[in-house]
Copies of this chain bind each other. A is one copy, B any other.
């Protein structure tokens, strides 16, 4: 594999899940593979799980991780083509990506969307510029429209916890005080579309995700109806896609409660706002898989890095 920037980079999700389970069972088996190789982790935004789990994955493979907070540690980066750089940006991505490629064998990038300019966000300017101008493989640690390490993690977690041949998985929108990106919901949707599950999305009117992502996945605006016989309820807030980046008024209470989900397993990518997105009773119950998901972040990242290292 060259780059990993989307769930679409996974050719066969079942074989990937099997390989991730092997890695999880024996995480140090490939400690020689990454020896004398560096992973550059470039953060344009905050990160806890991704920051730590991707470093841990690199260490398990014998790699040396080098972390940089681009905004605070380095220079304002220009992405425009042909720009006369007489403003606030001091370094062009053409140089930045090529330069980092001199020091890192793989570059991992996190860059959130603006949520104000749909077209710009969907162009994935930052991530795609790294792919274009870096001379080494690029891994998305969450970009404007996708979080493929999370989506892979979630697929692994569902496979591990499923007791049925074809479980029912619901992706449910939930309330939040801030306007949030669509990245996690998009990648989860794409991952579920590749798996042998019954997959539906529950969200209020006005909150349908990008139809190019959801494709023929059923979208249900009644949460109770969607949750019927669910085995997994994956919860996430996202801002409106149609009214791009807006937090619309929502009449119904979409907060996840124990009553609503019954025996279904609860999933969330974290961080999660307690008693806004989901009540304490769910998170503190045995139904919650959120910590197991966080654990699987390491093995998802390790699988991706392993596949890239094998093709270096």
Residues of A within 8 A of B (CB): 28, 31, 36, 38, 40, 43, 46-49, 51-53, 55-56, 59-60, 64, 66, 68-69, 72-75, 78, 82-87, 90-92, 94-96, 98-100, 102-104, 177, 270-276, 280, 283-284, 290-291, 294-295, 297-298
Chain B residues in 8 Å Cβ range of A291: 95, 98-99, 102
Smallest beta-carbon distance A199→chain B, Å: 25
A-B contact pairs, 16 of them (CB 8 A): A38-B56, A38-B59, A47-B74, A48-B73, A51-B73, A52-B99, A56-B66, A83-B275, A84-B274, A84-B275, A86-B276, A94-B284, A95-B291, A99-B294, A102-B291, A102-B294
Minimum C-beta distance from A79 to chain B (A): 11
- In the complex, the answer to whether A73 meets B47 with C-beta atoms within 8 Å is yes
Which of B56, B78, B104 meets A103, CB within 8 Å?
A: B56
Contacts of A104 in B (CB 8 A): 52, 56
- 7 closest A-B pairs by CB: A91-B271, A85-B273, A48-B74, A102-B295, A52-B103, A99-B294, A84-B275
Tell me, in angstroms, the Cα distance from A72 to B69 when the chains sit together. Answer: 10
Residues on B with beta carbons closer than 8 Å to the beta carbon of A273: 85-86, 90
- Closest B residue to A75 by beta carbon equals B271
B36 pairs with A28, CB closer than 8 A? yes
- The A interface is mostly helix, strand or loop, or mixed, namely mixed
Bound-state Cα–Cα, A104 to B59, Å: 11
| A32 CB, min distance to chain B CBs, angstroms | 13
**Contact present for A98 and B274 (CB under 8 Å):** no
Residues of B within 8 Å of A46, CB to CB, are 73-75
Contact flag A53-B275 (CB < 8 Å), given A46-B74, A73-B69, A86-B177: no
A40 to chain B, nearest CB (A): 7
Instruction: Count this chain's copies in the assembly.
Output: 3
How far is B94's CA from A165's CA once the two chains are assembled, in angstroms? 33
CA distance A177 to B89 in the complex (A): 11
Partner of A102 from the list B43, B53, B68, B78 (CB cut-off 8 Å) is: B53
Can you name the residue of chain B whose Cβ is closest to the Cβ of A296? B102
With A59-B64, A91-B272, A275-B84 in contact, do A52 and B40 touch (Cβ < 8 Å)? yes
Which of chain B's residues have a CB closer than 8 A to the CB of A51? 68, 73-74
B276–A84 CB distance below 8 A: yes
Given contacts A31-B36, A91-B271, 11 further A-B contacts (CB under 8 A): A36-B60, A38-B59, A43-B73, A48-B91, A51-B68, A52-B66, A52-B99, A52-B104, A59-B64, A95-B294, A99-B294
CB-CB < 8 A to A272: which residues of B? 91-92, 95
